[in-house]
Structure 1
């Protein structure tokens, strides 16, 4: 599968490397420097490009930029009509301290309003970027879970494949409105990952008894 990464910071770089290791072709875009994009492309056997160059041939797109950069990224991306877009962004303010939406809407819903013809699926926004490398090199059984939510069943099937290829199980969590609850939960996972001993490589798995 051809995947375009819109936002090649810690999260985009980590996920891109996991997908490349699983055999996907990854194109990295939108980083602080072209040198970083070049390094990522070389390390993964992928490519690097501008946002407009990366999207047309992509089977799926990952949106992984800081929320403050979303207007600029989407402007460069265009309408994203019929594109499967995985969103791992949490809508935080400039200081990464507070959520910008809630309780009657969420970042996932706002993205769908901005690009209504894209096929949005939210996932990976409750997993620290430091988790992907250790999950990639280990065989965990059962696999840790990733919450997944969206309104497009076909896009969810593609997202489920990419979640599995990154080493996780997809936990179906409903439509985009579920983001009203998942985005605050992402703040909890950040506290657990970065505010407690043991390192930030946090995973979770929900089980019904």
Structure 2
């Protein structure tokens, strides 16, 4: 599969390297051509501009961060039309009681992305774990929550999750993304505090008592 990656940061590196290893044709584009070129050489991908990455991908990963969405995505909207657009961002920031959503009271990060590229098919995925997890051996077998409205785009996302040796976990459409992003703020905050969020939940066979 041809995958375009917008951004050259840690998530672009971690996911891109795994997809290259799985045999996909990955092209990295970023606002910094130097960073894009350096990352592409490091992981065995190709490099180009943001527009070329958007054009190249049968699926496109947005790895520029939520705050940059409004700057980067509208200019690419035509090139992204009809494509699965994967959002791995976490719109979180420190608050008085722990991490909080920068989107609180407004649309989710994924909905903002969908508004910026209205003819693309946005799928929320890969946002619960840090880049270091995806880059290492501990992502194997992880359940990856996935939200989206388009069945074909969801199928592509499920394939790309499986290629990371992880398991897609459908949790609804884009109307559910706000809840999923809020969950990330709680879960990531617990990890930062040295707590284990897995201890909150029983196993599936015991979930109903």
Please give the range of the TM-score, normalised by the shorter of the 2 chains. Answer: 0.7 to 0.9
Q: Distance in 2 between matches of 1:207 and 1:121?
A: 27
Structure 1 portions without partners, runs of 5+: none
Matching of residue 72 in structure 1 with residue 94 in structure 2: no
**Aligned residue among 194, 204, 208 for 1:208:** 204
* 1:40-72, Cα deviation, whole Å (9 max, x unpaired): 211222111111122222111001112221111
**1:127–1:146 Cα contact (<8 Å) kept:** no
**2:58–2:83 Cα contact (<8 Å) kept:** yes
**1:7–1:63 Cα contact (<8 Å) kept:** yes
User: TM-score scaled to structure 1, two decimals?
Assistant: 0.84
Compare the two structures and name the one with the higher helix fraction: 2
Q: Distance in 2 between matches of 1:37 and 1:108?
A: 24
* 1:91-146, Cα deviation, whole Å (9 max, x unpaired): 24699x541324674222222222221011110111111101223xx794xx1111
- Partner of 1:171 in structure 2? 169
- Aligned partner of residue 146 in structure 2, secondary structure: strand
Q: Which has the larger radius of gyration?
A: 2
User: TM-score scaled to structure 2, two decimals?
Assistant: 0.84
User: CA distance change for structure 1 residues 77 and 207 in 2, over 3 Å: closer, same or farther?
Assistant: farther
User: CA distance change for structure 1 residues 187 and 163 in 2, over 3 Å: closer, same or farther?
Assistant: same
Equivalent residues, number: 199
**2:90–2:127 Cα contact (<8 Å) kept:** yes
**1:51–1:76 Cα contact (<8 Å) kept:** no
Matching of residue 127 in structure 1 with residue 125 in structure 2: no
Which moves more between the two structures, 73-82 or 41-50? Answer: 73-82
